[in-house]
Structure 1
Amino acid sequence: MALGDLERSVMDLLWDLPGAHTANDVRDALPGNLAVTTVLTVLARLEKKGMVRRDGGRRPHRYAATSTREEHTVGLLNDVLGSVPDRQAVLTRFIGGIEAEEAAAVRRLLDS
C-alpha cells in the first residue's frame, strides 16, 4: 500500500522509535509546525489502512506500527509483482539493476 509524504514520515517515525506514541509525541518528532489535529487525521488514516494500531484503553491514545518497515516493503513488492503479467521480466530487470554486493546477497539467500 503506497503512502503519501506525511503518512510516510509518520510511519518512518513509528518504525524508528520502539513502542507506542501519542499524537503529540509524533507531532513533536516531525519537522515543521504541524497541528496535532493533522497528525491525528494521518494516524486515523493509517489505522484504517491497518498500518498502525491505537491503544484506546487510556488517554491520550497511543499509536504503534502494526508491522516492520521490512514487512511493509515486502508487501509492496508482492503487490507490484502480483500486478504484472511477466514477473520474471520484472525480477530480471530488478536484479540487473542492483549493486554486485546486493546480487551476491540474493544468491546466498537463494542457495540457503
Structure 2
Amino acid sequence: MLSASPEPLTPGEVRDRLDPAGALSYSTVVTTLTRLYENGALQRHRDGRAFRYSAVSNAAGLVADRMSRLLAGEPDRTSVLRRFVSTLDSGDEQILRDLLRDHPDQKMPE
C-alpha cells in the first residue's frame, strides 16, 4: 500500500486505508511501521508531531534486498547458491542465465 501511494503517509492515514471501519488499533499500526522502518523497508520523516512513512522499494526490491541479506550471512555461499539454482524451474533458470549474461560487470561462459 505504501509503495502505491504517491506521497508518504502518516500512521493514521495508513490505518484508515487498511481498516476504514476503525477496528485496527493506531498503536498497532505505529508499532508495525516503526519495525518496518527499523528493518530498512520504510523511510520516514517528521511532519509536525507525526512521522510520514514511504516504501524504500517496490515488492521485487524488498525481496531482492532480503535475499542479499540472507546470503551475506552465510559462510558457504557457493553451497547456498548451488542449492538455490537447483530449485529453479527451467524458465527461471533461463531468466537467471540471461540476467547474468547481460549484466555489465559479469562475464558468463556461453
TM over 0.5: yes
* TM-score, scaled to structure 1: 0.69
Mark the runs of 5 or more structure 2 residues left unpaired by the alignment: 103-110
Q: Secondary structure at the match of 1:56?
A: strand
The residue that corresponds to 1:89 in the other structure is 79
* Bigger proportion of residues as helix: 1
Q: Which has the higher contact order (CA 8 A, sep 6+)?
A: 1
Distance 2:6 2:81 in 1: 33
5+ long unaligned stretches in structure 1: 1-12
Alignment length (residue pairs): 100
Aligned pairs for 1:14-29 (under 5 A) are 14-29=2-17
Q: How far 1:103 moved relative to its partner?
A: 0.9
Which structure has the bigger radius of gyration? 2
CA drift of 1:61 comes to 3.7
| Structure 2 CA distance for aligned equivalents of residues 45 and 86 of structure 1 | 29
Measure, in 2, the Cα distance between the counterparts of 1:80 and 1:61.
29
Q: Which 4+ residue blocks in structure 1 deviate beyond 4 angstroms?
A: none
Q: Percent identity?
A: 32
The equivalent of 1:108 in structure 2 is 98
Cα deviation, residue 52, structure 1:
2.1
Q: For 1:12-91, what aligned pairs fall within 5 Å after superposition?
A: 13-30=1-18, 33-58=23-48, 61-91=51-81
